[in-house]
């Protein structure tokens, strides 16, 4: 339940909303065009915890009135900040989410409840923001698919238990499915529904 | 073969420069101001706002000036402009029951509570062009008469509703569909139809409304009430936790009382069509309410035979920006398309000639055979 | 989320203030604001003024289910004072100056030492102006009231 915002909610937004949003959009677009590569979204905003800086920047640029956000882990300050900065409503159920901010201990069984689009409108699906501890030190994974010339090796640390199974199930839904954005600090890595993830 | 054609840049540039010149016209005549357009061509501004689906009198006036008075072009400009702005939220539904009345009439009750107020109407004028319009004669200030500050204007439909003689206002989803966000799929619902009609072309709706009166989807309409005036706009502000008034807009509302419905189990009662339009747009609101009622044919088990009852036909063709785009695109280069058609036609002609030559030759052979 | 109901006296009064500022003519509001501007703590811009749209809704039949009638241009602004108060404004139209002034007044009004001054020097004059405009229209409209009289024919 967000309280009425103090000054924290109205501060720490995009300093130059039009330009900054375009820079972030371009970063996200490039990340999705080249799955498995790391993109930097620039200077962090003043978003309250537990919002990861890259997730806050992504939402500040892309969320609006028509993109309900679902937060797995939330503080009042973070909710007020998002309300003022984006105008986006909060999805009460995962089914209503367009953007979902997962917690570090993401509950993967919930992923089946996010919208995956329909055959006629596969775009009406959720984009998940999943925090990782770091871009290296985890289990090595091989990525193949559009935007990857042959294959690409990644090893993010801190992926949730059962991640590979969830990604395989998601890939099987194509052209429907979820799109994933791993976030760490101000950096992101996209794993769109077209990318197949395997143990290396 | 596909042939890309380049060129025409200079011609286009000069054409636009010529357009600027012709728009401005005689430089010794003062340029139109936006105040002149919003003040003295107010109903043109209202139409552009209604069909442009954007309430902003000053922008509509700019669009009318830029379009040289071509209202559909002005509507197009307004529609294009609105796509550049972020939507900050929906308003709370306007409360037309609490309108500051500028005009209010009923064709069903002479002595309705609150009375009949003509307001600034063309009705009862003689439709003779007034020579005064060629000049700038001083105009008298309007007559004023004291009135009660908190006048009450009960709606005619509520008077009938209190006796259960008319269907209620109509229920539906609390979050209405929005055709500017989701493509329309048929069958649709009343909320989406009302949105489409509110921004639909006045001429198209007028013709369709007229067709229902002439028997193409007859609904036996009476104007229960028309009211024009100002309503406040309230918006919920999430960061404040309450709703605030953000200003006032002028709207026209028409309640069209239509023929009975009812069956063995349900008592007969009037049905209704609804019209609500930005600005002072009485003709549009009336036409809208006629068509809105006709489109509910299925709801009342009426035969659906007329164009005005066919929601796909009405909704797919009532938008003048869509219509003008598709009609007017025909003037753009179709050189390759047309070459293909021409090539096909020539081949058909060639083949036909060959067939008829062959038939003639065969005919000649037969004649010879018979002769032999 | 809090219920949108104007839950207490302060939010009711603040709603009243914001509504009065939104309904004010931009020109008069600027004139009245100019009379206090030099004395008041300045506004620090937080967001906007920026132009956007609000989707206006009607109700089927006047009071039935909501439908989307069409959009209106709006301008919003958020400012804060050095002392921390945050002022918001959302007004119909594209008058960015009006939105900025309204947001500043909303922030100032939250400071008790400024509330009376703003009510007296800004809110009351713009309210009175609007009341006069509304009264003029009502009286002009009233003059067009139809007074029917029925001609009775025949006996009884």
Could you give the ipTM of this predicted complex? 0.91
**Using one digit for the tens of pLDDT, what is the confidence trace for A54-63?**
999 999 999 9
Between A13-22, B4-13, B285-294, C68-77, the lowest mean confidence (pLDDT) is in: B4-13
Asked if A5 reaches chain C (Cβ–Cβ under 8 Å), the answer is yes
Looking at residue B303, what is its pLDDT? Answer: 87
* Lowest model confidence (mean pLDDT) among B85-99, B260-274, C18-32, C131-145: B260-274
Residue C4 pLDDT: 46
Give the predicted TM-score (pTM) of the model: 0.90
Each residue of B212-226: b (16+ CB within 10 Å) or e?
Answer: beeeebbbebbbbbb
- Picking from A76, A2, A11, A13, the residue whose alpha carbon sits closest to that of residue C79 is A11
Contact list in B for residue A83 (CB cut-off 8 A) is 238-239
Give yes or no for residue C151 having a pLDDT over 90.
Answer: no
Token pair of A56, please? 């806050």
- Residues A80-105 have a mean pLDDT of 93
Option in C55, C76, C148 nearest B110 (CB):
C148
C67 with B144: Cβ contact below 8 A: no
Q: Nearest to residue B259, comparing CAs of B277, B274, B273?
A: B273
Under 8 Å CB pairs connecting chains B and C tally to 246
Chain C CB contacts of A84 under 8 Å are: 47, 78
Separation of alpha carbons B190 and B142, rounded Å: 40
Contact A87 B89 (CB under 8 A): yes
**Residue B77: partners with Cβ closer than 8 Å, 6 or more residues away:** B52, B63, B66, B67
- pLDDT at residue number B211: 97
pLDDT at A32 over 80: yes
What DSSP character marks residue A77? H
User: Is A10 within 8 Å of B240 when comparing Cβ atoms?
Assistant: no
Strand order in the sheet with A187-191: A39-40, A187-191, A179-184, A127-131, A99-101, A69-71
B286 vs B154, higher pLDDT? B286
Angle between helices C124-142 and C26-34 (to 10 degrees): 150
Average pLDDT over residues B69-89: 96
Residue matched to tokens 């937080």 = C46
Q: Which two tokens stand for residue C151?
A: 């001609």
Residue A3 has pLDDT above 70, yes or no: no
Burial class from Cβ neighbours inside 10 Å (0-12, 13-18, 19+) for residue B100 reads middle
What is the per-residue pLDDT across B12-31, written as a single tens digit (0 to 9) for each? 999 999 999 999 999 999 99
Tokens (6 digits) for C1: 């989320």
H-helix or E-strand spanning residue C104: helix C96-109
CA-nearest residue to C8 within chain B is B242
A chain contacts of residue C80, beta-carbon cutoff 8 Å: 7, 10
> Looking at beta carbons, which residues of chain C come within 8 Å of B255?
61-62
Sign of CA dihedral B120, B126, B132, B138: negative
Length of chain C (residues): 156
Architecture per CATH, A13-194:
3-Layer(aba) Sandwich (3.40)
CB pairs A-C closer than 8 Å: 21
Q: For chain B, which chains pass the contact test of at least 3 CB pairs under 8 Å?
A: A, C
Q: Do C47 and A10 touch (CB under 8 A)?
A: yes
Best of B85, B177, B238 to disrupt the A interface by mutation (most A CBs within 10 Å)? Answer: B238
Q: Quick check: A6 pLDDT over 70?
A: no
Closest residue, chain B, to A90 (C-alpha): B238
Average of per-residue pLDDT across A44-69: 93
Q: Is the pLDDT of residue A23 over 90?
A: yes
Contact C70 B198 (CB under 8 A): yes
Indicate yes or no: CB of B86 within 8 angstroms of CB of A84: no
The DSSP call for residue B182 is: S
Strands A141-144 vs A152-154: parallel, antiparallel or unpaired: antiparallel
For C101-130, what is each residue's pLDDT tens digit? 999 999 999 999 999 999 999 999 999 999
């Amino acid at each position: 339940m967000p309280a009425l915002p103090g000054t924290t909610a109205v501060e720490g937004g995009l300093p130059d909303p039009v330009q900054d949003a375009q820079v972030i959009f371009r970063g996200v677009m490039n990340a999705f065009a080249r799955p498995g590569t790391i993109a930097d979204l620039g200077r962090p905003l003043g978003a309250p915890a537990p919002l990861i800086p890259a997730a806050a920047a992504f939402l500040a640029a892309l969320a609006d009135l028509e993109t309900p956000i679902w937060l797995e882990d939330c503080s009042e300050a973070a909710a007020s900040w998002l309300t003022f900065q984006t105008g986006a409503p909060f999805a009460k159920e995962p089914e209503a989410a367009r953007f979902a901010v997962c917690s570090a201990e993401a509950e993967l069984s919930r992923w089946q409840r996010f919208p995956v689009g329909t055959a006629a409108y596969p775009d009406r699906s959720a984009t998940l923001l999943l925090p990782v501890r770091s871009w290296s030190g985890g289990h090595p994974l091989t990525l193949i698919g559009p935007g990857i010339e042959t294959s690409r090796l990644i090893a993010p640390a801190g992926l949730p238990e059962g991640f590979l199974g969830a990604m395989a199930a998601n890939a099987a839904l194509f052209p429907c499915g979820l799109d994933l954005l791993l976030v760490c600090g101000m950096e992101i890595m996209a794993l769109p529904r077209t990318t197949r993830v395997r143990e290396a | 073969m596909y042939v890309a054609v380049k060129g025409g840049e200079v011609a286009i540039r000069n054409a636009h420069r010529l357009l600027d010149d012709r728009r401005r016209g005689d430089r010794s005549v003062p340029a139109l101001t936006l105040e002149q357009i919003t003040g003295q061509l107010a109903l043109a501004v209202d139409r552009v706002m209604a069909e442009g689906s954007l309430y902003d009198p000053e922008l509509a006036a700019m669009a009318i000036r830029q379009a040289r008075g071509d209202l559909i072009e002005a509507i197009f400009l307004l529609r294009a402009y609105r796509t550049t702005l972020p939507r900050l939220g929906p308003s709370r539904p306007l409360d037309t029951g609490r309108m500051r009345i500028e005009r209010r009439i009923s064709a069903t009750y002479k002595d309705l509570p609150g009375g009949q107020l003509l307001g600034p109407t063309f009705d009862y004028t003689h439709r003779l062009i007034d020579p005064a319009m060629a000049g700038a004669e001083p105009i008298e200030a309007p007559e004023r008469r004291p009135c009660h500050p908190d006048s009450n204007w009960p709606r005619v439909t509520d008077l009938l509703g209190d006796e259960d003689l008319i269907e209620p206002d109509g229920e539906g989803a609390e979050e209405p569909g929005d055709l500017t966000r989701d493509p329309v799929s048929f069958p649709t619902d009343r909320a989406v139809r009302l949105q489409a009609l509110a921004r639909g072309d006045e001429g198209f709706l007028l013709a369709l409304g007229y067709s229902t009166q002439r028997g193409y989807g007859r609904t036996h309409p009476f104007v229960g009430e028309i009211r024009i005036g100002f309503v406040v706009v309230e918006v919920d502000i999430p960061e404040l936790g309450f709703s605030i008034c953000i200003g006032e807009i002028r709207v026209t509302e028409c309640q069209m009382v239509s023929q009975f419905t009812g069956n063995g189990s349900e008592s007969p009662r009037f049905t209704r069509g609804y019209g609500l339009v930005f600005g002072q747009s009485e003709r549009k609101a009336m036409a809208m309410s006629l068509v809105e009622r006709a489109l509910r044919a299925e709801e009342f088990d009426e035969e659906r035979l007329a164009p005005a009852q066919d929601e796909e036909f009405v909704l797919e063709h009532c938008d003048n920006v869509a219509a003008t785009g598709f009609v007017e695109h025909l003037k753009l280069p179709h050189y390759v398309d047309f070459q293909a058609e021409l090539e096909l036609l020539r081949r058909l002609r060639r083949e036909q000639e060959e067939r008829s030559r062959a038939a003639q030759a065969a005919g000649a052979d037969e004649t010879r055979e018979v002769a032999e | 989320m809090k219920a949108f109901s104007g839950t207490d006296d302060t939010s009711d009064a603040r709603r009243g203030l914001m509504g009065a500022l939104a309904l004010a003519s931009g020109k008069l509001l600027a004139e009245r604001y100019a009379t206090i501007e030099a004395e008041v703590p300045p506004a620090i811009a937080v967001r906007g003024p920026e132009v956007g749209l609000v989707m206006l809704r009607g109700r089927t039949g006047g009071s039935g289910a909501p439908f989307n009638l069409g959009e209106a241009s709006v301008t919003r602004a958020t400012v804060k004072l050095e002392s921390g108060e945050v002022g918001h404004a959302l007004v119909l139209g594209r008058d960015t100056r009006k939105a900025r002034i309204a947001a500043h007044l909303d922030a100032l009004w939250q400071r008790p030492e400024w509330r009376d001054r703003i009510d007296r020097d800004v809110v009351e004059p713009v309210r009175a102006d609007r009341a006069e405009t509304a009264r003029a229209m009502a009286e002009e409209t009233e003059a067009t009231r139809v007074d029917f009289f029925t001609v009775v024919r025949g006996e009884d």
